[in-house]
Structure 1
């Protein structure tokens, strides 16, 4: 059964959810046995269902006041599969909140509201084993099942546990460390006797240092763990857990390794990462280059985007601190010099390259990076690779690099040599000096200015390629007229019917019903949600979905189809999650019509 857990918000593999018991609990949460006498803020939500039953053992009883851990047989780590299978019990189908204890090898065979990963303490300190265990379990268990790792959480590691996909933890490890005289914080585990003063202001620490004993240390450790979970929940709500993780994981080498290994599990994290976010992306470390949002943008720009101004020169320019770039003083100067006679593409770390038509599209106008004036070797390598992939299939008649020396120039020269290009450099000292801008303008002498309507129509098409797939721009918007002023654009068909509007906040298209019909009637694969025969109003819930495209991500525009209705809306779950879930809002509707 998976009736008592519902996911409300998603931040990559981390989730903000709800255990819908008699008294609901927001996850990720700190939970403990109902009979435990744990100090601090742990929720007493777990009930022991008894030992593994046989013919003479009754099935466990339960109710909605707690999650009953179904009987299981604990076996030593490394027990052969055939032995474990021989001693395994059969989980019953119960009608109360339940938890099934599984290993990575048999996860998914016993649907329950909570999946308990057996042997979890053995994964602490072993990054590869931990990542393999969590990702394999999450991949095969229902989406609306909470993942519980017992006996592992500390204030220092719990944020990374949640980032990997863990929903529930307990205070056991924090309690044990306290009884051993270890004072836990988010960055260290101190020996109590080494502390001259207490670096915490929780209730347990409101006593003189000489009176603070191990019992107080236990209470502090649990308080610190609960406080860190509150911080993590806030970060998930803000869509900024990864920003926090990049700093927090550096407190322990195995946590740093865990984050980097999760970055290598691109499919696992990408499926769970929203296409757009309200929050700004903070690129404070080089780990940001490996973030799904960065890699996905680079992949779509180099594999989906089509340069529609490649009959004009390409002008490579540096990024700006102000977003979108065109609002910055430096880019206004570049625009004045170019005067729509060339195609401008910005170079930036950690994004890579940003064609002018995609400057609004997440994360191009939603990031902030550390500016030192110096490029690292990793930054040069990444941006060079993206620029090389971008230029490999492009056919610009001329390439102009209006960039300063240092990293920008190194990247351009590196790609120039790799592809055998002939690049003209126009900057004498700084890109915005009068001489440099004059050089840029002079290099474009003789080229005609392209029309504003052309630029705006190509912006719509470029965003469509990025958002819906290669070829979508020309297939869906080949005969459009644009209305409004950039960036507040709408695309209309030749007969004046509105097809889409450019959402300025995220730089993606919001389709109308007419645009959605074009999409499903075109050769471009549509992201479709099939529903039961009803007419949705406001939203579509997961139980009403019969099928959904695999490539749907949170934030995608999707087409809703059923025997009774046709509509378009924005996905609140990924496609696999829509098919897999029995609870929750799957699509927020924008337009719908009865069939």
Structure 2
């Protein structure tokens, strides 16, 4: 009854995870999946890897059984099986009351809002459940803020556990709930739909089309689940789940509120977001919800508070429109803008949505290089407010003398900080011959008036790398004394005869060498992973050899590996920081060892 569930994360996207169940090398089950209940039709293990039974006693006992051979170490018979007492569950509104009869503790852990408020046993550092059941999930959904807070608290407290939220899932909200962190579901809502002669599919409950051969039978409900689960698993593996979530959240006001509150919570949370993503990944920004996407809000907050232009570049500010192609500099329109500007002595900043502002020196990093949106030429009030506040903050922190505005957007005058502003568009398209001539003339006159100095090619690259390093590595002092060698696009970063790194366009960041380790310890602010004192570090990093984690570990982050107070190498994070407290499997890939 205390067997260990073999599980490893096959794909992840913030709180959403695709778990492989059983042998990590050949998993025989996956999540998201169903938990079969009494009265369900026959469902294959690939879709429903677990079965649950609840006694009719008070308090009830819950038994959860794995239907596949998932038990460590043999993986030869179905298992494991766990049982636990559910205790008394009071409504979430009675959070100040103590239910009196506590729920059990073990590999299968029932949790309710009331228990989270009162049971100190949940904070026992040795408690490591394998499946957590949010027993009052249905009641919690009536208060979206409380529901999201409960899910986030459970995920962060028990990162190595699968989460089942009984009674709330369906094909119509599966993607959203997986995004929120739920792994296991059941057919409660589908059975209710069948009893009402309705079909619950990805669009919600509806009357089946009899003339097309549809029905509301339980087998038809299972088919709807199968299609939804397959879709979510595929999107999660491809890194595009958020696109599906944005569409699905619009089916009801309650789901819109859930996603909005979840975004608010996640945007200020360390150890959740991304630092680097594959070059082919896109951040699709096709809906108003993209304004609140945590990666977008993180960018906006950092640009508004921490961004600094390259040294000496804050004399002349040139505002430009964005382009469909990323990085912008490779688009036809921006090649024409760069040619018209004719100098690298000005600070070029792109005006866009939903990111607001993207400086030329940061256009190759996440998410600036990866976002995509439909360009309509019209700006919403929220977009104008965001761009205006970001521009005002940027001007306040720098010493600009003049603004050459080729963006085509008109902001309230207060956003320009009282600086002289030259509108080079004058209502024309950005690429028209006369608009480009005005842009060229305005920049020449501003350079002549305010004395901006042109940079060498190497100085320009170093300026861009320092900006990228402040964003990606937390500082740029490790680049002091560095020189540029090699040919584009993979320039080598040299310090004397030592190569300390290379700029990688595919990664949108640095490929760091062994010679950079000690320089990074002194001249950057990388998250640190402290290994246990007695371990000999040979392979990748997993929870069993980690003593402590310091800093904001994001997916793709470069990590400084420490042991006994000394830097011993570098690693790249595969899992965000919230998972490092107990998720089995690889958490970071070893990169350099001293």
Give the TM-score range, shorter chain.
0.7 to 0.9
Alpha-carbon distance between aligned partners in 2 of 1:170 and 1:269, rounded to the nearest angstrom: 30
- SS of residue matched to 2:530: strand
Offset at residue 500 of structure 1 (A)? 2.0
Deviations 1:507-557 (A, max 9, x none): 2223222222112124x4331111134444452122111111131111100
Describe how 1:149-548 pairs up with structure 2 within 5 A: 149-192=165-208, 195-198=209-212, 208=213, 212=215, 214=216, 217-267=217-267, 271-278=271-278, 279-308=281-310, 309-339=312-342, 340-404=344-408, 408=409, 410-411=410-411, 413=413, 415-416=415-416, 419-428=417-426, 429-445=428-444, 446=448, 447-469=452-474, 472-473=475-476, 475-493=477-495, 495-522=496-523, 524-532=524-532, 533-548=534-549
Describe how 1:42-81 pairs up with structure 2 within 5 A: 42-43=47-48, 45-48=50-53, 64=71, 65-77=79-91
Map of 1:205 onto structure 2: none
Kept in 1, the 8 Å contact 2:5–2:21? The answer is: no
Describe how 1:31-50 pairs up with structure 2 within 5 A: 31-33=35-37, 37-41=40-44, 42-43=47-48, 45-48=50-53
Kept in 1, the 8 Å contact 2:89–2:136? The answer is: no
Offset at residue 433 of structure 1 (A)? 2.3
Kept in 1, the 8 Å contact 2:129–2:160? The answer is: no
What is the TM-score normalised by the length of structure 1?
A: 0.86
**Residues 246, 415 of structure 1: CA spacing in aligned structure 2 closer, same or farther, 3 A cutoff?**
same
Answering whether residue 89 of structure 2 is matched by residue 86 of structure 1, we say no
Map of 1:100 onto structure 2: 109
- SS of residue matched to 2:365: coil
- SS of residue matched to 1:70: strand
Offset at residue 491 of structure 1 (A)? 1.8
Offset at residue 84 of structure 1 (A)? 4.4
Offset at residue 565 of structure 1 (A)? 7.8
Offset at residue 582 of structure 1 (A)? 5.1
- SS of residue matched to 1:500: strand
Map of 1:203 onto structure 2: none
Kept in 1, the 8 Å contact 2:103–2:110? The answer is: no
Offset at residue 126 of structure 1 (A)? 4.0
Offset at residue 296 of structure 1 (A)? 1.6
Offset at residue 49 of structure 1 (A)? 8.0
Describe how 1:92-131 pairs up with structure 2 within 5 A: 98-107=107-116, 108-109=122-123, 111-124=128-141, 126-131=143-148
- SS of residue matched to 1:271: coil
Kept in 2, the 8 Å contact 1:49–1:68? The answer is: no
Offset at residue 61 of structure 1 (A)? 11
Deviations 1:107-154 (A, max 9, x none): 4355310000112222345423322332232233x2111110111111
| Structure 2 segments unaligned to the other structure (5+ residues) | 72-78, 117-121
Alpha-carbon distance between aligned partners in 2 of 1:225 and 1:53, rounded to the nearest angstrom: 32
Offset at residue 52 of structure 1 (A)? 8.3
- SS of residue matched to 1:87: coil
Alpha-carbon distance between aligned partners in 1 of 2:133 and 2:519, rounded to the nearest angstrom: 46
| Structure 1 segments unaligned to the other structure (5+ residues) | 199-207
- SS of residue matched to 1:100: strand
- SS of residue matched to 2:17: strand
Offset at residue 458 of structure 1 (A)? 0.5
**Residues 243, 425 of structure 1: CA spacing in aligned structure 2 closer, same or farther, 3 A cutoff?**
same
Kept in 2, the 8 Å contact 1:48–1:70? The answer is: no
Report the count of equivalent residues: 556
